[in-house]
Amino acid sequence: MDLLTSPDAWLAFATLFALELVLGIDNVVFISILVGRLPESQRQRARIVGLSLAMVMRIILLFFASWIVGLTDPIWSPGDGRFEFSGRDLILIAGGLFLVYKAVSEIHHKLEGEFEDEEATAGVTSTFGRVIIQILLIDAVFSLDSVITAVGMVDELAIMIAAVILSIGLMMIIAARISDFVNAHPTVKMLALAFLVLIGTTLIAEGFDYHISKPLIYGPIAFAIGVESLNLIYARNVAKRRSLRRPPPVHLISKYEETSQSTSDVHPS
């Protein structure tokens, strides 16, 4: 009950909730890319299952917070000992490589020039189970990073669980719109894939103990989204103007003009 009346608790909850949303957007974009390879009838269920797994995984990891923090202790030092890898580092490197591989594979698939209607006809470029397994793998990476961040910010388990549940609940509501928007605009989808490559590279760098400030990552992403939004607005306005243009009026030729024209053709001057 004290948590409900504590301003510090509410401030911590709001901060952690906002952070969970920011970190969760990466997950939503990845899920949107994956479910786009499923038939339309399975996409919403895959989104809900994927985000539900992310929520359950994060809550379970929160109960093992002390073990999660212990993953930051070095466990492997190859070669001359220049690099020391912890369990977290190895998970981040593996997850980053997987994310880069999936994003680059999808970009290659798009650049091969396969027709979208053929993909839609085939529909099943992946199976529901395969998509869920891939979502689960990347959920583990994002959840680990999210939980370590949460443990470093808040001490109360109830606040952390509430922030996770509320943030993922909100993502479940907006995931379908984000997914439909990304899949409906090829340039946005390519931009999202480029973001995933960037985020995967960042995870790999973090695994090698090269820490990159989050604003340096999300700042350019936000700028690129803003530029792409302007392009979409411009394209929409151009299409709207073209649709509003009236066709030129039909010119009716009178019988007299037809007679004069035929006479001039027979007797040229």
pLDDT on residue 190? 83
Give the pLDDT confidence score for residue 136 in this predicted structure. Answer: 84
Say what the pLDDT of residue 125 is: 62
Q: Hey, is 79 helix, strand or coil?
A: coil
Euclidean distance between the first and the last CA atom of the chain, given in angstroms as a whole number: 104
Phi-psi region of 252 (alpha: psi -120 to 50; beta: other; left: phi over 0): beta
Q: Where are the alpha helices (DSSP H) in the chain?
A: 2-5, 7-35, 40-63, 65-70, 87-111, 116-122, 128-153, 157-184, 186-207, 214-244, 255-266
* pLDDT at residue number 84: 76
pLDDT score of 200: 83
Q: What is the pLDDT along the chain (269 residues), one digit of tens a residue?
A: 465 667 777 777 787 787 777 767 777 888 888 887 788 888 888 888 888 888 888 888 878 766 766 666 677 777 666 677 887 788 888 888 888 888 888 888 777 755 444 444 444 567 888 888 888 888 877 777 777 767 666 667 788 888 888 888 888 888 888 887 877 777 888 888 888 888 888 888 888 888 877 777 777 777 887 888 888 888 888 888 887 776 666 555 655 555 555 555 555 54
Cα–Cα distances in angstroms (integers) from residue 151 to residues 45, 48, 105, 208, 264, in the given order: 31, 26, 34, 22, 93
The reply to whether the predicted model has a pTM over 0.85 is: no
How much is the pLDDT for 119? Answer: 46
Q: Decide: 216 and 206 in contact? Cβ < 8 Å.
A: no
> Are the C-beta atoms of residues 156 and 9 closer than 8 Å to each other?
yes
Instruction: Tell me the C-alpha distance between 172 and 163, whole Å.
Output: 14
Q: Which residues of 65-82 are buried (b: 16+ CB within 10 A; e: fewer)?
A: beebeebeeeeeeeeeee
What is residue 175's predicted lDDT score, i.e. its pLDDT?
A: 83
Q: Can you tell me the distance from the alpha carbon of 111 to that of 129, in angstroms, rounded to the nearest whole number? A: 26
